[in-house]
Homo-oligomer: A and B are copies of this chain.
């Protein structure tokens, strides 16, 4: 591993700004958050960060590998820390609840796709739709 993300930013010619720190803190605090939610969360702490800055910052942080995003259903994309990304998302079509499970549930799938199709799965981006315990018929 290299140094802090601040150092990594500077090393690549980017700058460390309060907005970027705030967005990253918000993603950390929220665990799961849409750009809109992240923007709102930041406004509670400081005077605010513009929504377009949130989008640009998330794009940058994703490029750096600090955050990840997934698409959970119809709505906006959801961002979370890459460090926290070691899980698979379960989305219930009944109640809309999102829960996380350990990625080893997908081990068989990953292996089957690798050996059978030469496909290297990005488990951190895996979202499984279905019905949760409470919504099952």
Contact = CB atoms under 8 A, between A and B. Distances in A.
Interface residues of A, number: 33
B136 A113 contact: no
Contacts of A77: 74
A130 B136 contact: no
B122 A129 contact: yes
A125 interface: yes
A106 interface: yes
Interface of A: 71, 73-74, 77, 90, 92-93, 99, 101, 105-109, 112-113, 116-122, 125-133, 136
Nearest first, the 5 closest Cβ-Cβ pairs linking A and B are: A108-B108, A118-B133, A105-B112, A125-B129, A121-B130
